[in-house]
Amino acid sequence: QVQLQEAGPGLVEPSVTLSLTCSVSGASLRDGDFYWSWIRILPGKGPEWLGYIYYSGSTYYKPSLERRLVISIDTSKNQFSLDVASVTAADTAVYFCARTQFGSGPFDFWGPGAQVSVS
């Protein structure tokens, strides 16, 4: 069974770079049939797709956030990561990692999420 698990700092101060890591088991990040995504849910809002990465290192980001986001991948550890630069209170959210089927596919497995508060 595919499982994803987010890890993050919980609480960060404004203006710093937020870093989150997603550990994957039951699937290989080297599998070319999938992208690996980050999604967040802001308080009282629906989910917001942030971006994804392919095993080759190719990345795609939500255009309005692209200048603040970096997604990276470590296939040797079967992990991928998200950095969000210059965070503000508006970045307070639950952050999820998810597996995404290649070719504009759905998000078929998600992690349970990591709460991040900016204060």
Q: Using CB under 8 A as the criterion, which residues of the chain lie in contact with other proteins when the complex forms?
A: 4, 39, 45-49, 52, 60, 62-64, 96, 98, 104-113
CA-to-CA separations, 92 to 41, 48, 57, 63, 72, in angstroms, rounded: 9, 13, 27, 19, 21
37 Cβ contact partners less than 8 Å away, ≥ 6 residues apart: 49, 50, 51, 52, 97, 98, 99, 100, 107
Nearest to 118 by CA among 18, 42, 12: 12
Shortest distance, position 106 Cβ to other proteins, whole Å: 4
Euclidean distance between CA atoms 113 and 96, whole angstroms = 4
Shortest distance, position 61 Cβ to other proteins, whole Å: 9
> Closer to other proteins at the Cβ: 14 or 105?
105
> Closer to other proteins at the Cβ: 80 or 96?
96
Shortest distance, position 29 Cβ to other proteins, whole Å: 18
> Closer to other proteins at the Cβ: 55 or 110?
110
> Closer to other proteins at the Cβ: 29 or 113?
113
Shortest distance, position 99 Cβ to other proteins, whole Å: 10
